[in-house]
Structure 1
C-alpha cells in the first residue's frame, strides 16, 4: 500500500519547523524502515500553510509547481540546521466564517490524492486540522508555538530557541544599562501566556517580570525599583510580555486590524511602562521590543531534538492510524493526544505555582 502525506506549517514561523518536516520525510521514506512495513509513502510539502491547499489549482501545472513541493531524503537532508520554514507559512484560516473555503480545501485534497495531512502549528493551525478531521480527512498535528501555550503537551517547537534569544539580547543590554545606570524594559511576545517572559526573565536574571496571567500595579513596580536604589547594582532589567495588563486595564494594542483567526496585534506595553517609570521616579528608563527577533535564528539543540522526535512520532501515528491526534511530550515521554483536547483553551502560567506576586518574578520556592 502507498500513501501520500502532505505536510504544512501554519501561523508564525519559528526554529524547529524545518527539522520536523525533515524527520517526517526521512521517517516516511527511509528504505530500511520501508522493508519492514507494509506501507510506502510519498511526501509533498505544501507552501504557505493552509493557503497553499486552498489556492492551489490541481489542474494547473504552474499552480502546482508554486504550492506543491515533492520531498525526499536528499532534499531535506540539511533542513534541521535552519530556522524559519522552507515551505513558507501564512495565517490563512480555511474555516474563516467571513470567508469559508473549506469546500475548496476538501476538493483539492481529494483531487491531489492526499491521504494524510500533517499540520505543524499552534492552536489556530491545529484547530483547522481538527475541523478537517471531523470532515473525514486523516490529520496529524505537531505542536509549534514559541509561546509554549498549547494544551496537551509540555513542549512546543520554537520555545527553547526563543528563550535563548531573549536571554542573549538581555545579556547584551546589561552592558549599556550598567554603563549608563539605566532601567531597561524589554517586551517579549506572549498574548495570553507568559511563559516566554517568565523563563526568559528568569534565565537572564531580570529584576521584574510582568506576565499576562497577573495584572500589575505601576506603584508596586516603582516601589520595587526604589527599594533597589542605592545598592551596588546601578541598573535594572524589566521583562514584560506583550499581553501583560495594568490592573483594571486592557492590553496595549498596536493595531486593531484583525487576522483570519480573529486576533488583533498587541504591542507597546514596554514603551508605556518605561515612560510611566521615568515620570514617576525620575529614573532614566529605556524600552526595547524584541518582536520578531524571538522567531529568528538557527534552532537550538533542544528544538532540533524535539523536531526530530515529533517528526518521527507523526509517521508512527500514521502507521498506527492514530488520526485526529497531535504528537506530544508529557513527563519526558513522546506520546499523542486528541486534537480536540489541544484547542479551545491555552496552557497558561500557574501563578500560584510559578510566580511571586509580591516581587513580580519567578518563585524562589519550588518544592512545597
Structure 2
C-alpha cells in the first residue's frame, strides 16, 4: 500500500489507561525512523476479512497522550480468543492466521506491534510462530505479566481504587459501618494489595493468600474493641473462598467464566455473624477508564518508542518490558 516501509499496531483485550500513549509514542518514533504507520481496528479482528484500519500520523495522534481507552478500539471477544491464566491456550484457527499473514504482506509491514495482556500476547505468539514479524507490548491493569515489573494501566487502576477507599473511609467512619470494596484481579491481587495499603484498608483479601471468614470477623471485632467502630475490607474479584472455590457472576463467553460477587458474599457473612451494618461497593470498569496517571503515561510512552526500535532492529518475537535497577 505504501512505498515506504510500514509498521502496524493494534490494541487487543480489555482496555486500560495508557493505550493511546503507546500508539502516540510508537507512531512518533516510527515516523522519525522513516516509517509509515497503520493502526488495525478492534484488535486482531482488524487483520482479517473484512480488514479494517486507519493510517496513523502526527496529526491524528496529537493530543491523545492523556486520553483513556484506545483510538483503535479493542475487543476480548470474537474470532481471535485465547484463554487467560497459567497454562491456558487456545489454538487460533489456521485460516485466520493465514488471513492475518496475507494482510501483513498486503501492507508490506516491516513489523506488527501487538499491545495486550496475557491472552492477547498469547495470540501474538501464535502469529509470530506463523511467520508474522511481531513485537509485543504488555498491557494489563492486573500487573500480572511475567518479565516486566510493571504494566501500564496498573498505576491508574490503583489510583482509582485508592481514591474510592479514601471516599469510603469518611462515610464508613461517619456511620460506623463495615465497608467492602471489590476490585479487579482475576488471578493476581496487585490492585487490592497496593490500593488496600495506600487507602488504609483494614482487611485485604487476595487470590494468592488463603483466608477464612473467621479471620475477617476477628479483625472487625478487634477494631471495635480498640474503639475504631468501622472497618474497610478490600477484596480482589479472584480471591478464593475458604473452600478454594471462586464466586462467579456469569458466563463471559469463549469458555471463560465472569468473576464477581465475592465482595457481596464477604459483606453478607460479616453482617450475619456480627450483626454489623455492612455496605459493599464493586468498583468494576471504573478501574479501566479515565485519564492515565503520569507514571502510566511515562511507561506507555517508553514502551511504544522501544517497540518501534525493536521492529527497526528486526528483533521480533520479543516483548518490551520494564526492569527497574537493583
Asked if 1:19 is matched to 2:21, the reply is: yes
Tell whether the 8 Å contact from 1:7 to 1:119 is kept in structure 2 after alignment.
yes
Q: Structure 1 residue aligned with 2:211, among 209, 216, 225?
A: 216
Aligned to 1:290: 283
1:54, CA displacement in angstroms?
2.0
Cα deviation, residue 257, structure 1: 3.7
Rounded Cα–Cα distance in structure 2 between residues aligned with 1:194 and 1:95? 24
- Offset at residue 23 of structure 1 (A): 0.2
Change (3 A) 1:56 1:115: farther
Aligned counterpart, 1:94: 80
Q: Does 1:3 align with 2:5?
A: yes
Query: Which runs of 5 or more residues in structure 1 are unaligned?
Result: 35-39, 58-66, 334-368
1:131 corresponding residue in structure 2: 126
What corresponds to 1:69 in structure 2?
54
1:49 aligns with 2:43: yes
TM-score (norm 2): 0.92
RMSD, aligned CA: 1.7
| Contact 1:95 1:102 survives alignment (8 Å) | no
Matches within 5 A, 1:215-364: 215-259=210-254, 262-332=255-325
Aligned to 1:113: 108
Partners of 2:6 and 2:107 within 8 A in 1:
no
Corresponding residue SS for 2:256: coil
Q: Is the 8 A contact 2:114 2:134 kept in 1?
A: yes
More deviation in 311-320 or 268-277? 311-320
Distance 1:263 1:217, change over 3 A: same
Give the whole-Å Cα distance in 1 for the aligned partners of 2:187 and 2:79: 20
The structure 1 segments of at least 4 consecutive aligned residues displaced by more than 4 Å after TM superposition are: 95-99
Aligned match for 1:160, one of 155, 158, 179: 155
TM-score norm. by structure 1 comes to: 0.82
* Aligned CA distance change for structure 1 residues 224 and 17 (closer, same or farther; 3 Å): same
Cα offset for 1:248? 1.6
Aligned length: 314
Structure 2 segments unaligned to the other structure (5+ residues) = 83-89
> What is the SS of the residue equivalent to 1:256?
strand
Matched-pair contact (CA < 8 Å) for 2:110–2:311: no
